[in-house]
Amino acid sequence: MSQGERLIVGLGNPEEDYADTRHNLGFACVRELARRLDVKIDRKRWQSLAGRSDERGVWFVLPQTYMNLSGEAVARALRDTKLTPEQLWVVHDELDLPLCRLRIKRGGSGAGHNGVLSIISSLGTPDFVRFRVGIGKPARKGSPAGRSYVLGRFTKAEAGRVPAIVDGVADALELALDAGIERAMDRFNRAGSLGCEELP
């Protein structure tokens, strides 16, 4: 049963050059959920690509503003759909979690993620749900976990786990839509893993 109207945003960067980078994992997860619900995310609206499931009452939005300006697109979408930040779910990559891990949380800081920080700034509130999808940090001690890492492509070992990660996050989103965000938090935050083996 649907839990009400929602705006589900996947964070990433436009252009083909960024398609398979760690920073675009949010795009991939939201696209997979839309595929399962037979929704095409191809409408150009709100400086984004968007699609809608009328049956589920869900908008899918992929901002095309580049990561640092994601908030502009999200704020436009919320205004136009007359939804509130409490009805917003944002799916994004997370340096502070290992690959194959998911944490769902409501509110809190942006933890240095430029896309999330942009949304908080544009909305004037941190009170929205985040699906934080782990990408881990550089394996070498002392390596900067910054721009070059998040904009880099997955290693061969990591790439083999990405399909399971995307499927797992889509499962979490579906459960949240069907049974509520608290149920999804209880199951996926407790389990920790998305069903793929973490890298040593």
Residue tagged 């069907």 (tokens): 178
pLDDT in the model for residue 81? 95
Highest mean predicted confidence (pLDDT) among 88-92, 97-101, 143-147 = 88-92
Average pLDDT in the chain: 90
CA distance 138 to 120: 27
- Domains of the chain in start order, with CATH, are 6-191 (3.40.50.1470)
pLDDT in the model for residue 195? 76
Assess whether pLDDT exceeds 70 at residue 156. yes
pLDDT in the model for residue 1? 41
Query: Which tokens belong to 142?
Result: 């002392």
Task: For residue 175, give the nearest of 165, 164, 185 by alpha carbon.
Answer: 185
Give SS3 for 65: coil
Assess whether pLDDT exceeds 90 at residue 137. no
Q: Which residue has the higher pLDDT, 108 or 78?
A: 78
Angle at 53 between CA 49 and CA 54, to 5 degrees: 125
Average confidence (pLDDT) over 154-168: 92
pTM assigned to the model: 0.92
Task: Provide the annotated active-site residues.
Answer: 23
- Considering only CA atoms, give the Rg of the chain: 16
Alpha helix locations (H) across the chain? Answer: 25-36, 70-81, 114-123, 147-150, 156-159, 162-179, 181-184, 190-191
